Amino acid sequence: MPTPNLSPRRWLLALLLTLSLFPAFAAKPLETTETAEADAQTAALVVRRLARDDLELYHRIDVQVVNGRAILTGSVRTRQGLDAIVKEVGKVPGVLAVEQQVKVEPTP
């Protein structure tokens, strides 16, 4: 409803300007939410891939995915095991890059 101080034309113009600016403010949080959801789904896929029997016994890996980049931390028993894990993580849909911060710690 128009206020007594604004004419109907000015009120309509103010309303149109407000509505035209609103999508610009709302767009960024939506993109951030979509990225966070995609990263969470990708992280779940990576964890699932690493839980396979042929990889699970040889590592203690934590996974975080940020903007499609999988960040691996933790430890593995052998360098070959680390190479296999990095290769498998790189195959997961949604992973654009793999950053490994994993230590090789052989078990005595």
* CATH number where 74 lies: 3.30.1340.30
Q: Could you please report the per-residue DSSP string of 57-91?
A: TTEEEEEEEETTEEEEEEEES-HHHHHHHHHHHHT
Q: Which domain holds residue 97?
A: 8-104
Select from 25, 89, 95 the least CA-distant residue to 66. Answer: 95
Model confidence pLDDT, tens digit, residues 67-77: 999 999 999 98
User: What's the predicted TM-score (pTM) here?
Assistant: 0.66
**Phi and psi for 60 in degrees, rounded to 5?**
-130, 90
Query: How many domains is the chain built from?
Result: 1
Examine residue 1 and state whether it is found in any structural domain, yes or no: no
Q: Which amino acid is at 7?
A: S
Examine residue 3 and state whether it is found in any structural domain, yes or no: no
Examine residue 2 and state whether it is found in any structural domain, yes or no: no
Model confidence pLDDT, tens digit, residues 32-54: 668 888 999 999 999 888 887 66
Euclidean distance between CA atoms 105 and 2, whole angstroms: 72
